[in-house]
Amino acid sequence: MTLTITLKPELQAWLHEESVARQTSEEDVVVRELESRWATAQNQAGRLSAAESSLLQRINEGFSEEFWLRFRELREQLEAETLTEADREEFLRSNDAVEAKNVERMEALLQLARLRGTSLPEVMRQLGIGPIQSV
């Protein structure tokens, strides 16, 4: 693959000095640096602590597709004002379960942020967790 990049003058100077010191081309220095960074990232990705793994598992736990289909059905009936008393009770139980799961997830995210020594928004960014979406 061919890639063209624009470097700041000080980075270009460093790259030139490195290539002279290593007795190789500037391109080779860049490729080796990228390969080194990539290998480090691969190694770190496979080395989650037991605590991180446990927290990530809690964060990713969810409900079944069937649960969400029924939840949406009940919500639509609620909005249409066609819920029976039994369905209303089922909806309330399901809604309580969703809220409890969200509390558990937020607690796990906070613990993960503390463990990583970073902020909650940063952990959410790292995990690709965005704003709350309507279900």
Chunk the chain into consecutive blocks of 10 residues (it has 135) and report each block's average pLDDT, rounded to whole numbers: 81 83 81 70 67 91 93 96 96 96 94 93 88 58
Kindly state whether residue 25 falls inside one of the protein's structural domains.
no
pLDDT score for 81: 95
CB neighbour list of residue 105: distance below 8 Å, 6 or more residues apart? 58, 59, 61
Q: Is residue 72 part of a domain?
A: yes
- Cβ-based burial of 41 (10 A; exposed 0-12, middle 13-18, buried ≥19): exposed
In this prediction, residue 46 carries a pLDDT of 60
- Residue 68 belongs to domain spanning: 50-127
Predicted local confidence at residue 133, as pLDDT: 58
pTM over 0.85: no
Number of domains, the chain: 1
